[in-house]
Structures are given as structure tokens and as C-alpha cells.
């Protein structure tokens, strides 16, 4: 079995991981480890942009204030200020790399999104993440000092405690090489988790298939605390279609008169809020969730067909074209939609240098809980967070003294066999995503959380048995991580006896005081 030595290991190839790699490459031997292709992470799917104070009529204080308001009292002020004040430099760095931001004359075109009091969103039309990701991949591939390992799935980080050694230190990691079907040992004094969120724990999500909570689960097993895992951001109107996994129907459709309907044509939003379809995201998502559960529906309908075909061609050309590809003519019929998991606000606890509780282990991007997002993420702060903390982690690594790492044992699978019932993994995956959607979704109750806990306990036991006795596969590793993350989400939700931000409980509909983060501490032995 292969083994590799590097100065820094980076798990994940989105904006966070590639930014960190580029900052470290001049002085360190860097490995970027990603479980599919470099372009397959969530960053490439980001449509909006990157928030930064770049206009004369804007200010750091205004951006901070907007972030704190969105975060519903749970944002960390120091982290928020740190990110906001470093935002302009982050945009400048991307521009220097060649990211083709949309211009207005000689200046950047800045758009405005919900929750922002000023125009401060730098963007590349409506596909910012894809453009940034393409640029970074091109630069990384041409940068000496960075070695990319695609099709390598994180199995676990290696700690001194797991090897029975003195002290607390991350020593490297094990990863499954898809090409050889062998587990490879990577040794390094510094490891950065940039693995993204955990949207795939839910039945419906805007996230790619890679969003399986790998870094959150691995850090937890390594003894790191996690925070605010109950706060999962949902988008109210994802397209519901067998061939459309993650396509969003813009809020602008509702803004231009789109009506939400039950299958029998009944409009339901006026019964939930006087603003009807123009209510905020969370209100609309809860209303749809309520109607789906009440009537046993897989989706509801969004109808904009009363507008003229000319109007729809002008305002929603991409939505119209994509729906047409699927056989849905939005000029004549409604669009099937469903709320969809969008962003994991909580994650592995870090400081302002991206450090976790385990020396030598860092977490950057959606995998981390930095304190920036609080109970709800402000639009376009997430790509920004990736860049600011990638630079901060790189600077800390560069300034820290080099640590000697002992020889690491190879992965031992001599006593396992190939699983003969892979259907069990597939069934468990489907069961998990369904009950998380039904019981731990947009609207929660104590009873629903108890039901989820019971099922998670059974799944954990079954998966542990599989993991101990059978050769690891990517599907098994992802399922193991998803179930672990699901357990953290449910435990966090049970501890929050109030409704705040993205966590809404029918049993505790009011705010509690004082506002406090939910911090989970792993058991001593994992």
C-alpha cells in the first residue's frame, strides 16, 4: 500500500481548499486530496457572489450589522469583523488571479441580495462559484509544490491518541484510492479540512453528491468539538423532478407574481402569512413543509403561467429553458417545487486561524463553525468565509515551527472481507435522508426528534458492524459520515429549547435569553 509525505494535507478542492493550497505552495509541499474531480465540490454550484465592502457609500460597520441581524443573535462579533474587514483584500486576490468579475465600466459591478443594506456583492453574472473555481483549478494545476490526488476519499485523520502516543497531534490521514481500491497513508504535520457541508443528509438538497459531512464527522471522531449543527439553511423552491437533482427556482419567480398551489390548484400562502408568496424564505419554506406533511405530498406547485410567454422569456430564460428540457412548459403549467437543504451553518469549532481543538488540524469553509453565520447565513458571506480563513490558516501554518511526525502504520484490512450485500448501504442511505427530511427538517418537534434519534441509533450500530467487518468503499465511508452528522444535528436540535434563526420548534416557538451557541463535546474515546 502506498504512503505519502507532505508538509500540508488539504482535504477538499473547493474555494477554501484551493485558496489555502495557493497561499502555502511557495513555502510548503502541499497535497490536495479530493474524493472526485477537482471541480465537483459545492463551490462551483454557488450562483450568487462574494460580499465585500467595495463602494464609497458602504462601510464595514454596515456589513457587520447586516451579518449580525441575519445571524439572529448568535454571530461572534470578533469573527464577523475579521471576515468583513478582510473581504476587500480577498476580492483583490481573486482579481489578481484572473477571476473575470462582472464589470460596470471600469469598476466592479456590485449587486444587492436579501439582508444586505447596500450593493456589495461582487459576482460573475449568475455563476460566480463556477467562474472562481475554474480560475483556481487552472492556477493550481500550473503551480509547483501542489500535488493533486483526485478520486481519494477521506477515511479518517490519524491522531497521536489513536496510535497510543503521548500528546495531542494530528499526524496525517488515511484515504481510499478509487483507482487501486486501497487505503493510502498520508503523513504531514498539518492537515486542513475543507470538505464542505452535509446537505446530502437530507432527501432534497441543492448540494452536490460530495456534500456528505466527511470533515465534520472525521474531526468529531478525532476529538474536536462541533457547534450549532441544528442550523441548516433551506431554500423554499427547489425544482422537483427525477432528472433535476439540485436546480433552484429563483425567488424572483415569486417576486414577479408566481403563486404556490396545492395539487388541486388551491393557493395556500395567504393562510400562512399576510405577505403570501412574498414572505421571507424561512416563512415560505415552513409553509410548504406544513402543507406537504399535512396532505402527504412529495411537492407543491409554483405557477407563473399567467404571465405572457414574452415576459417569461425575458425574465427567466434559464429556468424556462431548463424546465422545457424536462418536459415542463412554464408558460402553460406550474412548476413542481420542494424546499431543499442549502447550507450547513454549524460545523467544527475553529478560532480565527482556522485551528480546531486538535493541534495540527484546521477546518476552513462550510465544514467549520467560525462564529460568522450564527443562526442563519447572510447571502454571499460563505464564499468570502472560505477565502478569509484559508489565508488565515495558511499564515498560521507558515509561521508555526515545523513538527516532526513519527512513522505511521499502514492501513490494516487483512481481517475484513468484501461486503456481499451492498444493497444494505443503499437502503440505509435512503432511509436516513427520508427520516431526516421528515423529522429534522424545516419544522421540528420533540416527538419528531425522538423518532429520528431512535432510527439513528439503529443505523449507527449497523454501519459500525459493516465498517468493522468489510472492506471500505466510498459509499460506506460517506454513509458512515452522514449518519454521524445526522446524530450531531439531532442532538444539537434537542438541546435548543427555543426557535431561533433556521431552527424552528413547535414545542418552543419563542426566543430564549440569553442567546447561546450549541456546543457538543465528543466522548474521550472515539
What digits encode the pLDDT tens for the residues 43-99? 877 767 899 999 999 999 999 999 999 999 999 999 999 999 999 999 999 999 999
Give the pLDDT band (50/70/90) at residue 424. confident
Give the pLDDT band (50/70/90) at residue 1. low
Considering the domain architecture, whether residues 373 and 311 belong to the same structural domain is answered as no
As a whole number of angstroms, the distance between CA 175 and CA 153 comes to 5
Q: Which of residues 291, 311, 339 is at a domain's end?
A: 339
Instruction: Say which CATH number the domain at 257 has.
Output: 3.90.700.10
Which of helix, strand or coil describes residue 86?
helix
Considering the domain architecture, whether residues 354 and 307 belong to the same structural domain is answered as no
As a whole number of angstroms, the distance between CA 5 and CA 266 comes to 62
Considering the domain architecture, whether residues 28 and 160 belong to the same structural domain is answered as yes
For residue 414, being part of any structural domain is answered with: no
For residue 412, being part of any structural domain is answered with: no
Q: Considering its fold, how many domains does the chain have in total?
A: 3
For residue 411, being part of any structural domain is answered with: no
What is the helix (H) or strand (E) element at residue 288, kind and residue range? helix 281-295
Over pLDDT 90: what percentage of the chain? 77
Segment 299-315 shows an average pLDDT of 93
Q: What share of the chain is helix, strand, coil (3-state, %, to 5)?
A: 40, 20, 45
Instruction: Say which CATH number the domain at 458 has.
Output: 1.20.58.100
Show Cβ contacts of residue 430 under 8 Å, excluding neighbours closer than 6 positions: none
Q: How far is CA 524 from CA 220, 223, 363, in A?
A: 11, 7, 21
Q: Are strands 300-303 and 226-227 parallel, antiparallel or unpaired?
A: unpaired
For residue 525, being part of any structural domain is answered with: no
- Phi/psi at 76 (5° precision): -85, 120
pLDDT digits (tens, 9 = 90+) for 218-274: 999 999 999 999 999 998 999 999 888 778 888 778 888 999 999 999 999 999 999
For residue 163, being part of any structural domain is answered with: yes
The answer to whether 9 and 33 are in contact (CB under 8 A) is yes
Residue 10 β-bridge partners: 32, 192
Segment 506-516 shows an average pLDDT of 96
For residue 523, being part of any structural domain is answered with: no
The answer to whether 366 and 197 are in contact (CB under 8 A) is yes
Segment 428-447 shows an average pLDDT of 95
Which of helix, strand or coil describes residue 198?
coil
pLDDT of residue 517: 98
Considering the domain architecture, whether residues 327 and 281 belong to the same structural domain is answered as yes
The answer to whether 42 and 207 are in contact (CB under 8 A) is yes
Considering the domain architecture, whether residues 320 and 202 belong to the same structural domain is answered as no
For residue 245, being part of any structural domain is answered with: yes
Considering the domain architecture, whether residues 305 and 355 belong to the same structural domain is answered as no
Give the pLDDT band (50/70/90) at residue 127. confident
pLDDT of residue 420: 66
Considering the domain architecture, whether residues 322 and 363 belong to the same structural domain is answered as no
What Rg value do the Cα atoms of the chain yield, rounded? 23
User: Known catalytic residue: 455?
Assistant: no
As a whole number of angstroms, the distance between CA 394 and CA 255 comes to 42
pLDDT of residue 270: 96
pLDDT of residue 41: 82
Segment 19-41 shows an average pLDDT of 95
Considering the domain architecture, whether residues 362 and 309 belong to the same structural domain is answered as no
pLDDT of residue 365: 98
Give the pLDDT band (50/70/90) at residue 526. very low
Range of the domain at 289: 234-339
Segment 115-130 shows an average pLDDT of 85
Across all residues in the chain, what is the average pLDDT? 93
pLDDT of residue 124: 85
The answer to whether 158 and 173 are in contact (CB under 8 A) is yes
Considering the domain architecture, whether residues 258 and 320 belong to the same structural domain is answered as yes
* Catalytic residue, candidates 187, 281, 286, 433: 281
Over pLDDT 70: what percentage of the chain? 98
The answer to whether 186 and 173 are in contact (CB under 8 A) is yes
pLDDT of residue 525: 52
Considering the domain architecture, whether residues 487 and 374 belong to the same structural domain is answered as no
Which of helix, strand or coil describes residue 393?
helix
pLDDT of residue 126: 64
When comparing pLDDT for 332 and 415, which is higher?
332
C-beta atoms surrounding 366 within 10 Å: 35
Residue 154 β-bridge partners: 175
Instruction: Say which CATH number the domain at 83 has.
Output: 3.50.50.60
pLDDT digits (tens, 9 = 90+) for 53-65: 999 999 999 999 9
For residue 522, being part of any structural domain is answered with: no
Considering the domain architecture, whether residues 311 and 192 belong to the same structural domain is answered as no
Considering the domain architecture, whether residues 43 and 180 belong to the same structural domain is answered as yes
pLDDT of residue 314: 82
The model's pTM: 0.93
Give the three cell numbers for residue 90.
Answer: 480577498
Among 115-124, 334-343, 510-519, the least confident range: 115-124
Pick from 176, 85, 201, 252: nearest CA to 474: 176
Amino acid at each position: 500500500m502506498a504512503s505519502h509525505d507532505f508538509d500540508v494535507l488539504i482535504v477538499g478542492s473547493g474555494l477554501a481548499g484551493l485558496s489555502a493550497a495557493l497561499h502555502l505552495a511557495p513555502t510548503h509541499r502541499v497535497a490536495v486530496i479530493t474524493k472526485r474531480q477537482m471541480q465537483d465540490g459545492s463551490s462551483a454550484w454557488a450562483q450568487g457572489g462574494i460580499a465585500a465592502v467595495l463602494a464609497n457609500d458602504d462601510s464595514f460597520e454596515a456589513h457587520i450589522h447586516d451579518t449580525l441581524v441575519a445571524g439572529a443573535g448568535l454571530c461572534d462579533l470578533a469573527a464577523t469583523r475579521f471576515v468583513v474587514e478582510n473581504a476587500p483584500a480577498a476580492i483583490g486576490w481573486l482579481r489578481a488571479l484572473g477571476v473575470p468579475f462582472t464589470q460596470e465600466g471600469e469598476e466592479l459591478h456590485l449587486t444587492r441580495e436579501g439582508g444586505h443594506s447596500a450593493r456589495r456583492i461582487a459576482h460573475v453574472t449568475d455563476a460566480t462559484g463556477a467562474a472562481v473555481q475554474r480560475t483556481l483549478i487552472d492556477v493550481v494545476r500550473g503551480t509547483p509544490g501542489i500535488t493533486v490526488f483526485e478520486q481519494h476519499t477521506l477515511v479518517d485523520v490519524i491522531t497521536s491518541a489513536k496510535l497510543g502516543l503521548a500528546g495531542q497531534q494530528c499526524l496525517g490521514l488515511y484515504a481510499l484510492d478509487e483507482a487501486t481500491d486501497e487505503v493510502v497513508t498520508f503523513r504531514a504535520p498539518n492537515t486542513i479540512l475543507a470538505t464542505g457541508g452535509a446537505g446530502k443528509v437530507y432527501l432534497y438538497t441543492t448540494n452536490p453528491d460530495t456534500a456528505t459531512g466527511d470533515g465534520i464527522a472525521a474531526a468529531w471522531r478525532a476529538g474536536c468539538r462541533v457547534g450549532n449543527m441544528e442550523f441548516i439553511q433551506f431554500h423554499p423552491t427547489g425544482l422537483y423532478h427525477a432528472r433535476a437533482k439540485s436546480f433552484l427556482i429563483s425567488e424572483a419567480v415569486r417576486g414577479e407574481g408566481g403563486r404556490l398551489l396545492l395539487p388541486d390548484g388551491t393557493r395556500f400562502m395567504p393562510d400562512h402569512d399576510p405577505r403570501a408568496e412574498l414572505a421571507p424564505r424561512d416563512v415560505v419554506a415552513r409553509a410548504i413543509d406544513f402543507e406537504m406533511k399535512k396532505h402527504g405530498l412529495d411537492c407543491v406547485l409554483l405557477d407563473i403561467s399567467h404571465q405572457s410567454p414574452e415576459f417569461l422569456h425575458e425574465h427567466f430564460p434559464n429556468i424556462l429553458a431548463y424546465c422545457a428540457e424536462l418536459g415542463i412548459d412554464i408558460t402553460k403549467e406550474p412548476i413542481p417545487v420542494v424546499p431543499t437543504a442549502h447550507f450547513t451553518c454549524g460545523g467544527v469549532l475553529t478560532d480565527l486561524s482556522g485551528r480546531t481543538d486538535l493541534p495540527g488540524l484546521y477546518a476552513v469553509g462550510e465544514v467549520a463553525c467560525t462564529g460568522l453565520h450564527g443562526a442563519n447565513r447572510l447571502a454571499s458571506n460563505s464564499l468570502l468565509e472560505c477565502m478569509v480563513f484559508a489565508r488565515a490558516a495558511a499564515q498560521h501554518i507558515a509561521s508555526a515551527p515545523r513538527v516532526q511526525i513519527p512513522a505511521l502504520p499502514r492501513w490494516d484490512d487483512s481481517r475484513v472481507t468484501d461486503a456481499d450485500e451492498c444493497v444494505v448501504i443503499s437502503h440505509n442511505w435512503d432511509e436516513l435522508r427520508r427520516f431526516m427530511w421528515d423529522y429534522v427538517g424545516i419544522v421540528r418537534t420533540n416527538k419528531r426528534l425522538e423518532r429520528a434519534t431512535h432510527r439513528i441509533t439503529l443505523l449507527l450500530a449497523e454501519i459500525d458492524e459493516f465498517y468493522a467487518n468489510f472492506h471500505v468503499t466510498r459509499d460506506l465511508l460517506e454513509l458512515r459520515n452522514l449518519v454521524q452528522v445526522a446524530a450531531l444535528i439531532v442532538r444539537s436540535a434537542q438541546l435548543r429549547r427555543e426557535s431561533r434563526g433556521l431552527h424552528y420548534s413547535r414545542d418552543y416557538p419563542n426566543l430564549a435569553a440569553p442567546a447561546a451557541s450549541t456546543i457538543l463535546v465528543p466522548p474521550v474515546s472515539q
